[in-house]
């Protein structure tokens, strides 16, 4: 299992394992909440984590214009580095500062990725499924808040395996 990266001055102490079913329910809940803010002219998925929720939200809101904003911030599995924009949105999608665009990601953590998006698309609506306290003020809509010291294990990062009962976890 990957080792969660240390946050700035915040050690990761908790784990939150999200199943496919739970993630699908949470992404649909995000779509339901966003339906009140319609209309959006298109969706921008922040890769890679935003691809799955963006697909679910686009389906639920019957949106067909989908683009990607590709970034890299982790060096390996355990060290978060600076944000590198690998691909921005197409010029016609990003015109007018992103007015009318819906930007989707799985999680806002420290907010570094959202800051990079906001620099290019300051008028876009940014939504995430999960939010941590440091990044929460930077998004317009989210579904579930988790503590800053929690590492979220998304279903696409996991395989099925035996899990020891919580009462036995410290007996290693």
Residues designated as active site: 105-106, 109
Residue 163's φ and ψ, nearest 5 degrees, are -120, 125
Residue 138's φ and ψ, nearest 5 degrees, are -90, -10
For residue 7, the cross-strand partners are 10
Q: Which residue has the tokens 């939150």?
A: 16
Long-range contacts of 129-138 (CB under 8 A, 24+ apart): 129/23, 129/26, 129/27, 129/30, 129/53, 129/105, 130/26, 130/106, 131/107, 132/107, 132/108, 134/7, 134/109, 134/110, 135/107, 135/108, 135/109, 135/110, 135/111, 136/108, 137/111, 138/108, 138/111, 138/114
């Amino acid at each position: 299992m990957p080792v969660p990266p240390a946050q700035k001055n915040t050690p990761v102490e908790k784990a939150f394992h999200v199943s496919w079913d739970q993630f699908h329910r949470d992404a649909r809940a995000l779509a339901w909440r966003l339906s009140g803010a319609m209309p959006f002219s298109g969706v921008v998925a922040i890769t890679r984590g935003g691809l799955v929720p963006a697909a679910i939200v686009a389906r639920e809101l019957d949106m067909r214009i989908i683009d990607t904003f590709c970034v890299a911030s982790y060096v390996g599995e355990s060290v978060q580095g600076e944000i590198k924009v690998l691909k921005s949105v197409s010029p016609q999608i990003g015109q007018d500062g992103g007015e009318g665009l819906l930007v989707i990601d799985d999680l806002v953590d420290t907010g570094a990725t959202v800051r990079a998006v906001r620099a290019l698309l300051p008028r876009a609506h940014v939504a995430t499924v999960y939010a941590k306290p440091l990044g929460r003020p930077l998004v317009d809509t989210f579904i579930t808040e988790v503590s800053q010291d929690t590492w979220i294990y998304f279903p696409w990062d996991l395989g099925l395996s035996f899990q020891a009962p919580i009462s036995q976890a410290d007996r290693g």
